[in-house]
A and B are shown apart, each in its own frame.
Chain A
Amino acid sequence: MSKYTEDDLKEELKTKEYEYGFYTAIESEKFAKGLNEDVVRAISKKKNEPEWMTEWRLEAFKIWSKMEEPEWANVKYPKPNFQDIAYYSAPKKKPKLNSLDEVDPELLATFERLGISLEEQKKLANVAVDVVMDSVSVATTFKETLAEKGIIFMPISEAIEKHPDLVKKYIGSVVPPSDNFYAALNSAVFSDGSFCYIPKGVKCPMELSTYFRINEGGTGQFERTLVVADESSYVSYLEGCTAPQRDENQLHAAVVELIALDDAEIKYSTVQNWFPGNAEGKGGVFNFVTKRGLCETNAKISWTQVETGSAVTWKYPSCILKGNYSVGEFYSIAVTNNFQQADTGTKMIHLGKNTKSTIISKGISAGQSQNSYRGLVQVNSRAENSRNFSQCDSLLMGNACGAHTFPYIESKNKSAQIEHEATTSKIGEDQLFYCNQRGIDTEKAIALIVNGFSKEVLNKLPMEFAVEAQKLLEISLEGSVG
């Protein structure tokens, strides 16, 4: 009889190979390793940046030089040697393209392997793709449709050139360089990223989407994303990524800033699938991300994320609910396997009156991984009638992994209503047998149970992303049952 026990399952999860492990041989140009003022200047010069931007970077570099890497997260990893990283890498042949025919066939092949071919995406329509390949955008589509509505969606380096006033006004306004170690580093050396501006009263007619890839061995990736939704506008922004298999640790320190002005709404969805390291816990991406949004009066920001990758994840998409009646939401699925470590969560800072926040966090741990939820709900003394609801559920597979919940609540206003619920469960033999008995094999059963567990969050994702996210959940938790 072919037996399939939880031990087999655990074994299988351990040997699960990284499915998207490959990397493209596109020629690149990159700086020598190391970081100092000259490197910062050189990056700025390479991008033809104006004086103010160079100064801003240098200021950030000064701040960073005086900072220490934080230690408080529930993760352990060898500290990156920041002088052993090349801070700039760009494809040598930088094509300016109008159609896919002009795209490097190697790159197209890469996208095909990822299952995100531009061709398909174009046909699917409604998705404009700004592809970030090794720090520099190499293809931008659907620009014209967006331009008609006055929507700006372009690489941030281009925005610095073409819309300096907007960038200058908002960059660093939500995440100042001094915010934390990684944010300061990012501010000094970011090489690319996306900028998005939705004018007053405009509902963006399509999901805006960026695919990030880390592609050059030993190159840190420092993306900078800035999304500004002007009054009464709406935008849904998708971010997703995979990375090639690597033997050395790759540092990723992105900054994402969202600004939702009065009555505006921003939906920001992420599917993240970076190389998590092999079964022994070697290699894998270090992902230290600062994501924060600011809500003015009656504005709303929703963060939805599906995190399956990275060796070490440190990430807290947050909302500053500054305006009265503003709303912040955080929906998250974090999967850890093998030796992955994730310390993720959110901060909801209630400043305005009648502000409301919702936190739904689903942690799935397998192998010997550690999955921590860390959330802060802070209610300011002036934030009358603020409300928060938090729910943190953990699903464990096997006995070697860990799930941890660290909810912090700081309330300085008596009228605040704060609710927190937490559950921990295990996929049971009985559940698996029940599914098996109905003709569903164990691999499919796990996918079914995990999808059920994650449903409230998956439902928040845009349709086409939800399908991809389900696939990712399956990939990261299942082996080929043999």
Chain B
Amino acid sequence: MLKIQNLHAEIEEKAILKGLNLSVNAGEVHAIMGPNGAGKSTLANIIAGKEEYEVTQGSIELNNEDLNELAPEERAHAGVFLSFQYPVEIPGVSVTNFIKTAINETRKAKGLEDMPAKDMLKKIREKSELLEIDRKFLSRSLNEGFSGGEKKRNEIFQMAMLEPKLAILDETDSGLDIDALKVVANGVNKLKSKDNAVILITHYQRLLDYIVPDYVHVLHDGKIVKTGDASLAKELEAKGYDWIKKELV
């Protein structure tokens, strides 16, 4: 599904990704871990098409289509979803209005009519129940005054509504309490299928107790330096990153 080869990227002439390779197939869950500042969010943003970053070398393909050719909204239409590490506030725009616009814009790009109001409401009801979101919450301004955990849960609600092919969750677990983590993880698991893929960016093993990854990657200094199965995460939790850094020299 996703194929990244020898990706180099920089911002303000500072190199951040330095030859990154990553392959994700449909039906898989990948976890990306790594120290602060390693380039994890940068990678997520580049896949999503944030224009501040300049890709200087390498390629990103989604289902054999060159993503570098597409604007961020076109990538979204192609099924890329990013749960932001720091979701932004949009005052005066309700969660419902926002997600309705997102869905209908995506449909429009595919030549479809707006989703009938009845179906939209049904879907909103279903997904908000799945993620145990209070209906009142949906009429509030997007992310305005939301607690850290509420913001993250709202990101996953949007993911559930949009049903992406490739979901990248950037530290969605940070800021969630234990119960919320279970709800969100359960939501993600329910949405998982053989046709879509999930990339989890996280610092903690506890998320991976609930969403079990097929692969765990360590991103360090702009490259994936180690790949393993779920047990690698446990090892990292116990030992930290130093041993990997040492292995590299």
Contacts and interface: CB of A to CB of B under 8 A. Distances in A.
Interface of A: 1-5, 428-431, 433-442, 444, 448-449, 451-456
Given A1-B49, A1-B69, A439 B90 contact: no
A439 B84 contact: no
Given A1-B71, A3-B51, A438 B98 contact: yes
Nearest to B143: A434
Nearest to A454: B92
Interface in B81-130: 81-82, 84, 87-88, 90-93, 97-99, 101-103, 105-106, 109
B76 A437 contact: yes
B150 interface: no
Nearest to B66: A1
A434 B88 contact: yes
B77 A438 contact: no
Contact of A451 (B69, B70, B92): B92
Contacts of A1: 49, 51, 68-71
B72 A444 contact: no
A431 B101 contact: no
User: A-B pairs with the 8 shortest C-beta distances?
Assistant: A452-B92, A436-B72, A452-B93, A439-B76, A438-B102, A439-B106, A455-B92, A436-B73
B27 to A, nearest CB: 23
A431 B90 contact: yes
A433 B82 CA distance: 11
Given A1-B49, A433-B50, A440 B91 contact: no
Contacts of A444: 101, 105
Contact of A441 (B48, B69, B73, B80): B73
B71 A451 contact: no
B239 to A, nearest CB: 35
A434 B158 contact: no
B162 interface: yes
Contact of A431 (B68, B81, B88): B88
B174 interface: no
Given A1-B71, A4-B71, A428 B88 contact: yes
Contacts of B5: none
B71 A2 contact: yes
Contact of A439 (B50, B77, B141): B77
Nearest to A3: B51
Interface of A is mostly: helix
6 contacts: A1-B69, A5-B51, A433-B51, A437-B49, A453-B92, A456-B92
B179 interface: no
Interface residues of B, number: 36
A4 B70 CA distance: 12
A1 B51 CA distance: 9
Contacts of A454: 92
Contacts of A456: 92
Contacts of B92: 451-456
B52 interface: yes
Contacts of A5: 51
Interface string B34-58: 0000000000000011111000000
Interface of B: 48-52, 68-73, 75-77, 80-82, 84, 87-88, 90-93, 97-99, 101-103, 105-106, 109, 141, 158, 162
A454 B92 CA distance: 8
A448 B99 CA distance: 12
A232 B70 CA distance: 61
Contacts of A439: 73, 76-77, 102-103, 105-106, 109, 162
Given A444-B101, A448-B90, A453-B91, A438 B71 contact: no
Contact of B49 (A436, A440, A452): A436
Given A436-B76, A439-B105, A439-B109, A451 B93 contact: yes
Most chain A CB within a 10 A radius of its CB, from B77, B101, B106, B158: B101
A437 B162 CA distance: 11
B72 A437 contact: yes
A440 B92 CA distance: 17
B142 to A, nearest CB: 8
Contacts of A449: 90, 93
Contacts of B162: 438-439
A320 B102 CA distance: 45
Nearest to A434: B88
Contacts of A448: 90, 93, 97-98, 101
B89 to A, nearest CB: 8
Residue in B92, B105, B109 whose Cβ sees the most chain A Cβ within 10 Å = B92
Nearest to B109: A439
A4 B51 CA distance: 8
A442 B51 CA distance: 13
A433 to B, nearest CB: 6
A437 B77 CA distance: 9
A441 B101 CA distance: 10
A437 B90 CA distance: 14
Contact of A452 (B48, B51, B90): B90
A453 B144 CA distance: 12
Contacts of A440: 73, 101-102, 105
Contacts of B88: 428, 430-431, 434
A451 B101 CA distance: 13
A426 to B, nearest CB: 12
A430 B162 CA distance: 20
Most buried by A among B76, B77, B82: B76
